[in-house]
Chains A and B, each alone.
Chain A
Amino acid sequence: MITFAFLDWLWLILFVALMVACGAIFYRLGKRSQSDFFLAGRGLPWWLPASSVYATHTATDTPIWVAGVVYKYGFAGLWYAFFAAWCAISAFVSTRIFRRSLAYSQAEWQSLRFGGLGAEMLRGWVAGWQVFMNMFILGWVGIAMGKLCSYLFGWDLWMGLVIFTSIGAVYVLMSGYWGVVMADFQQGVIALLVIFIVSIWGVLAAGGPDEIISKLKSYNSTCEWTVPTTIADSTQAKIRISDPESDKAYVVSTAPFIIRTGKSDDTAYRAVEIKTESQVKNSAPTTLAILFPGDGDVLYTDTDYTIVWTAGKTKKLVNIDVSYDNGMTWNAIDENHPDGQSWRINPFSFTGAFKGQFPVAWFVTMLIIALIGGFGMGTNIDWYSEAQRIQSAKTVRDASYSIWAGTALVLIRNSIWAAAIIGFFVLYPHLASSGEYEMAWYRVGFEYLPIGMVGFLFAGILAIHLSTVSTQLNLGAMYATRDFYHHYVNPRASESRLVNVGRISTFIILIGSFIFGTIIGEEITAWLIFALWIMAAGVWLPNILQVIWWRFNCWGYLSSWIANLGLSWLVVWILPQFGVIPELPDYMQFWLLIVLNALIYLPITFATKPENMDHLVKYYVMSRPIGFWGPVRKEAVKRGLI
């Protein structure tokens, strides 16, 4: 818990007043038309949507996520956050194509790319999915804010969720996207400033850059281990460090430690943490030895611990095993685990082709997904909010630069965070529980910043929260208004009525997000990984095919979505649960879903008719898509349209 001084409150009140003022100032612009309420009149220079891209993708859960992967994997953890790099290609391909289509939303684009009943079904489907996803995203970033407020002020989870998401709703309701984008610009500047200040503080708190490098070189080796729940009470166990190639043991525990069932009390666990901290930091032993757990140590099942052994006495990679029968049989804890701690500052510290915490196969999969995804639309969940920014840019050129620059800033921000997390690791190298080290960046800020700056930090955190929730509120309202109400319910609606429907939709989505937030509760990471990675895996390729291949039709695309919803549950949970397939690493689940889904949508595509040629020619001439559009292009040339 923290206590605010007068200066802290001042920072906070000034910031909230500034954000709400954004809504009031741009109220008259926002209410002019649907185009103003959702796209700021399509007239923004590149740097405004760019700052909005950056601010929107800096949410309260982002430093938690980045801290988690960087603490665990060092700078290699940056690649977990490299998914944003789909914009490297998108900025010059799908962004350009989408901007030329002029569609308000991805759902509307479906009815430009495809035609007839299938296109209408797709538009309704994508719009409905996005309204749901916006409430879901708002729920999870809102509950992340709730968690933070609970950590800082001891509030109930729902209080942080409701209070701070509602502040964002005030200016979105008043001025729509005008308020969002103008507030995003200020929030982006404030958030970047706070990230810089806290990260510099974090690095200095760890002794400065030289001291961090030197300590990493001297610290002993560590590996996280959660003691399995299946182990019987009072089991004696030993740890072994071995050579991955020959399986020959480098060292085995000299005496067994004890495993108990039940829960360790906090004092005992804290004592273990103090012991392991000193063992990681103390580089005194000159011979190879397992320092923790050792003789007399008591470990509890379903509890996270840090195994510690002497650094620099083995090959670069080692296997870590545990035996519960005095060395008769060994069970793997981790394979190809790096020795020492220096690997943490190497962004390319691979642990083999397929094994270990950072295999080449995972890295290649991630690069393919992230980069090649830029040829498609919707290959990344962020596409849907980026699409709004693309259409709000005043020209095709502005749209391209806004997406490129905003994402470059996101990636640089991740790197700045990562440096601070490495500093945090040097201060606390023994943390075994992800719940503890995921709060690393926040802890650096709240524990090391001087009094008076804590309020500034909280204002920065509020900035990153508000920028995300305001975007999602306005985006969800756009799908509800443009793609449902205006297109299906009331095509003759006046501009002022559409703006009012936009406001009502914003309010409904706000309430929905509160419900989702309380359902998600503490399980943020599990929901997030499922939503971001698995639910999108099967439609990753169809999302590209719809952009680059003329023959891919609405039925193929629609079937890929429906199939993916079923297949992702089967591959991730149901089939492993019944032992039909093993539990696969996430990158293998991705490839399996790609193949299984293709076996459904490709036959459907070829079994159904291509899209109407008149419709395709109209789309081609307007959007000039990349890829395999030969027959459509030929027809457009024949008609003298290009």
Chain B
Amino acid sequence: MSLIRRQWTAKDADEWCREDWIAIVLSVLAYITLTVGSALSFLLLPTGFVILGVGILVTMLMYWVIDPKLRMISTEYEKKQKDYLQQLEDIQKWEEKQ
């Protein structure tokens, strides 16, 4: 079994799992490195370009890890969305149910 799962079933994608946590950690790292890297790069500091480069790589890695799962969640969820919207409107228009 590979470290990062790339093929998802609808049922598995709905669960919170390792890929979500890896994406969360990478996301935090990406924000920190992009913030620091951009500031230092704007002053043409070599460390800034290195940190910014790391930030871009981490962002790409995050996308690679989480995108297949997000795609599956979205595809499955859109099928049910119409029913859920109806439920929402029933709550909103409660008077009509009286």
Hey, which bits of chain A sit against chain B, CB under 8 A?
75, 78, 82, 85, 88-89, 91-93, 96, 100, 102-103, 108, 111-112, 199, 203, 209-210, 212-213, 345, 347, 371, 395-398, 400, 404, 407-408, 411-412, 414-416, 418-419, 422, 482, 486-487, 491-492, 618, 622, 624, 626, 642
Contact = CB atoms under 8 A, between A and B. Distances in A.
Interface in B24-73: 24, 27-28, 30-32, 34-40, 42-45, 59, 66-67, 70-71, 73
Best-buried of B23, B30, B38 by chain A (most CB within 10 Å): B38
Contacts, number: 126
Contacts of A85: 28, 31-32
A492 to B, nearest CB: 6
Query: What are the nearest 7 A-B pairs in CB distance?
Result: A419-B42, A415-B38, A415-B39, A491-B95, A395-B74, A209-B44, A397-B74
Contacts of B81: 102
Given A78-B39, A642-B14, 12 more contacts: A75-B40, A88-B30, A96-B73, A102-B84, A111-B91, A209-B42, A210-B44, A398-B74, A408-B31, A411-B31, A415-B34, A487-B92
Contact of B34 (A103, A111, A408): A408
Interface string B77-98: 1100100110110011111100
Given A88-B31, A91-B27, A371-B28, A486 B43 contact: no
B32 to A, nearest CB: 8
16 contacts: A82-B31, A82-B35, A88-B27, A92-B23, A92-B27, A102-B84, A103-B88, A108-B88, A398-B74, A407-B31, A408-B34, A415-B37, A415-B39, A422-B43, A482-B92, A491-B92
B39 A395 contact: no
Best-buried of A92, A212, A422 by chain B (most CB within 10 Å): A92
A85 to B, nearest CB: 5
A108 B39 CA distance: 40
A396 B10 CA distance: 14
A404 B66 CA distance: 13
A32 B32 CA distance: 42
Contacts of A199: 42
Contacts of A100: 77, 84
B54 to A, nearest CB: 14
Interface of B: 11, 14-16, 20, 23-24, 27-28, 30-32, 34-40, 42-45, 59, 66-67, 70-71, 73-74, 77-78, 81, 84-85, 87-88, 91-96
Best-buried of B36, B42, B93 by chain A (most CB within 10 Å): B42
Contact of B78 (A395, A414, A487): A395
B42 A415 contact: yes
B27 A404 contact: yes
A89 B16 contact: no
Contacts of A486: 92
B77 A408 contact: no
B93 to A, nearest CB: 5
Given A88-B28, A89-B27, A397-B73, A412 B14 contact: no
A642 B76 CA distance: 13
Contacts of A400: 66, 70
Contacts of A419: 39, 42-43
A205 to B, nearest CB: 14
A102 B90 CA distance: 13
A229 B33 CA distance: 43
B93 A412 contact: no
Contacts of A108: 88, 92
B39 A75 contact: yes
Contacts of A642: 11, 14
Contacts of B91: 111-112
A626 B31 contact: no
A501 B44 CA distance: 53
Contact of B14 (A111, A618, A624): A624
